[in-house]
Structure 1
């Protein structure tokens, strides 16, 4: 049986406080840059966010509805980043076709599709009455 895990064994867990927050922010920014450079789906969804967020801000709806519309777009970006991280981890293991690798990638793709569906339903539910009553 192996020795129990101790956090002191992990060389990546040494930073604390503001130093940790600074490094986490830098890593997060790098993730966004990599996603923008390497993932066309992320660029497309970011484009939707950039175009639709200002529209949400100017719609004649409540602040909570504006927040929900923008949050749904952010959720799509979050799920896309998680999907891309699964794909990167699978590709690091092997580029060979394997049924479990395909399944993992398909699960990630399905999660993105469902996030997009949630966003579309929310936008439609809030915006269609505006168009009808216009």
Structure 2
């Protein structure tokens, strides 16, 4: 009994790539993820805030470490928001019915976003306090 070779799936094709070709294709997937994230209101709001806050970090920070903390904390919020959106999309793909594990997954994703926002806010409040009150 001989088996027929199966057509390579898109995931297999990506794994076979190497070098700059792999990087270019991966960048395309990343840009598609950012476009998909932009369709989410929360990500859009945070991205617009980031457009203001990241350049502001260069003015507010008093050295490269402070600038990295300020700008990095904003980018971490965006990253976690994208991960949360991915979790929600995966859960929604499974089905619309309510399930405790689905609720837990969505709640934990939301909690991760909240914690990142609190950390970002704390870093920015500390930097603003140091800049203007000290």
With the length of structure 1 as denominator, give the TM-score of the two structures: 0.87
Shift of the alpha carbon at 1:85?
Answer: 0.7
Q: Which moved more, 1:119-128 or 1:55-64?
A: 55-64
Please list the CA deviations of residues 63-109 of structure 1 after superposition, one character each: whole Å capped at 9, or x if unmatched: 21011100000000010111111111101111111111011000000
Give the gaps of 5 or more residues in structure 2. 1-7
Change (3 A) 1:60 1:30: closer
Where does 1:50-129 land on structure 2 (aligned, <5 Å)?
Answer: 50-59=51-60, 61-129=62-130
Equivalent residue number for residue 47 of structure 1: 48
Give the gaps of 5 or more residues in structure 1. 1-7
Q: How many residues align?
A: 125
1:35 is matched with which residue: 10, 34, 37? Answer: 37
Equivalent residue number for residue 28 of structure 2: 26
Matched residue of 1:11: which SS? helix
Moved over 6 A (4+): none
Shift of the alpha carbon at 1:20?
Answer: 1.0
Q: For residues 17 and 96 of structure 2, what CA distance do their matches in structure 1 show?
A: 34
Matched residue of 2:96: which SS? coil
Shift of the alpha carbon at 1:27?
Answer: 0.1
Aligned-residue CA RMSD (Å): 1.6
Shift of the alpha carbon at 1:11?
Answer: 2.2
Q: For residues 115 and 16 of structure 2, what CA distance do their matches in structure 1 show?
A: 37
